[in-house]
């Protein structure tokens, strides 16, 4: 029987999840289909009641990642730790919520570290290099010609984020997953969000994070004190692509800047970061990794990550 999957959210028009998962199902030979469904806040309850009879699994995006938990029968530890759900599996034990955002984001970051193409120090020469990491092929394919690797090529933390100072901008659904995963993998986390109370709540929830105000002075200081900045707000996302949480003046060579927004591929934040000589990582790998984790949960298979990534890149580069 054909298995049905979908991503629900509002707005959902720009989601590339259907393209990515349908390409994967095709390669895996799975009789499945994946669609995007526009669901407004007031429609969520009704939709979730019917969904278990129709779908095998769902992805959940803005603005439902927290609200959807009211309609589930159980939560995996990833969703409990994050306090948000981006993946639902309609299993024999009911509708179970997971969070694959955090794993996807930190895997993407660590993949970039492990590629040994992350530059450190930002010398004049390295500042001229192409430092746009958006995948294995690019990183390993010689497009990034830096000579100063992270800690001289011997990353003390073995290509992981352990001990690294991360400034996480945002405290929404995606930020929750990233914060809990970052803490779990040993990063030193500071959170900054437009609505400060949400940053404070998230810091309390994950246990060991600091909080800074979302104002220019405080953020500039926090960036200076960080090894890595992750934008987990929707600033810069289509169609408001001119928005950025940081400007060039607030960043520096040697800083690693990851934007989880992947549409457009190179957001205004990444352009600013590149202008400052920082290392930039797009949201594409996180997107692919969080999707791959979801397929493992739904189907128990090893997803064809490179096909998924290629599909997304082709659309974004179009």
Ligand X SMILES: NC(=O)c1ccc[n+]([C@@H]2O[C@H](COP(=O)([O-])OP(=O)(O)OC[C@H]3O[C@@H](n4cnc5c(N)ncnc54)[C@H](OP(=O)(O)O)[C@@H]3O)[C@@H](O)[C@H]2O)c1
Catalytic annotation present for 65: yes
Q: Is 219 in the site for ligand X (CB under 6 A)?
A: no
Q: Which is nearer to ligand X, 65 or 120 (CB)?
A: 65
- Nearest to 148, CA basis, from 132, 128, 177: 128
The answer to whether 171 contacts ligand X (rule: CB under 6 A) is yes
Our finding on whether 134 is near ligand X (CB under 6 A) is no
Q: Does 305 bind ligand X (CB under 6 A)?
A: no
Q: Any contact of residue 286 with ligand X (CB under 6 A)?
A: yes
The site map against ligand X for 98-127 (x = CB under 6 A) is: ---x--x-----------------------
Burial of 205 (0-12, 13-18, 19+ CB in 10 A): middle
* Cβ proximity to ligand X, 84 vs 278, nearer residue: 84
Strands (E), 182-301: 188-192, 210-212, 228-231, 256-259, 279-281
| Residue whose Cβ sits closest to ligand X | 172
One residue of 32, 135, 172, 277 binding ligand X per CB under 6 A: 172
What CA–CA distance (Å, rounded) separates 23 from 296?
A: 15
Using the rule CB under 6 A, give the single segment among 42-50, 114-122, 219-227, 229-237 that binds ligand X.
229-237
Residues 6+ apart with CB under 8 A from 31: 1, 2, 3, 25
CA dihedral for 318, 114, 80, 193, sign (positive or negative): negative
Catalytic residues: 65
């Amino acid at each position: 029987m054909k298995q049905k999957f979908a991503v629900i959210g509002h707005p959902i028009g720009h989601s590339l999840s259907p393209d990515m998962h349908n390409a994967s199902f095709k390669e895996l030979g799975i009789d499945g289909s994946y669609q995007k469904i526009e669901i407004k806040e007031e429609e969520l309850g009704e939709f979730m009641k019917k969904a278990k009879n129709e779908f095998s699994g769902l992805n959940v995006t803005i603005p439902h990642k927290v609200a959807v938990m009211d309609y589930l029968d159980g939560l995996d530890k990833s969703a409990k730790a994050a306090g948000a759900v981006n993946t639902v599996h309609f299993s024999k034990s009911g509708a179970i919520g997971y969070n694959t955002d955090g794993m996807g984001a930190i895997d993407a970051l660590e993949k970039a570290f492990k590629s040994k193409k992350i530059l450190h120090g930002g010398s004049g020469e390295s500042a001229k290099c192409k430092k746009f990491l958006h995948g294995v092929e690019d990183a390993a394919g010689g497009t990034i010609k830096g000579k100063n690797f992270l800690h001289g090529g011997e990353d003390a933390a073995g290509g992981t984020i352990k001990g690294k100072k991360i400034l996480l901008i945002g405290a929404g659904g995606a930020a929750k997953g990233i914060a809990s995963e970052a803490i779990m993998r040993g990063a030193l986390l500071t959170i900054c969000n437009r609505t400060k109370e949400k940053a404070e709540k998230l810091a309390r929830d994950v246990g060991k994070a600091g909080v800074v105000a979302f104002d220019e002075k405080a953020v500039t200081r926090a960036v200076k004190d960080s090894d890595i900045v992750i934008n987990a707000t929707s600033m810069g996302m289509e169609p408001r692509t001119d928005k950025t949480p940081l400007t060039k003046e607030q960043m520096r060579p040697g800083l690693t800047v990851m934007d989880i927004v992947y549409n457009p591929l190179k957001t205004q934040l990444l352009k600013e970061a590149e202008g400052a000589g920082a290392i930039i990582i797009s949201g594409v790998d996180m997107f692919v990794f969080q999707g791959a984790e979801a397929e493992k949960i739904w189907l128990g298979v090893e997803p064809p990550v490179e096909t998924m990534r290629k599909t997304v890149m082709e659309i974004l580069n179009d």
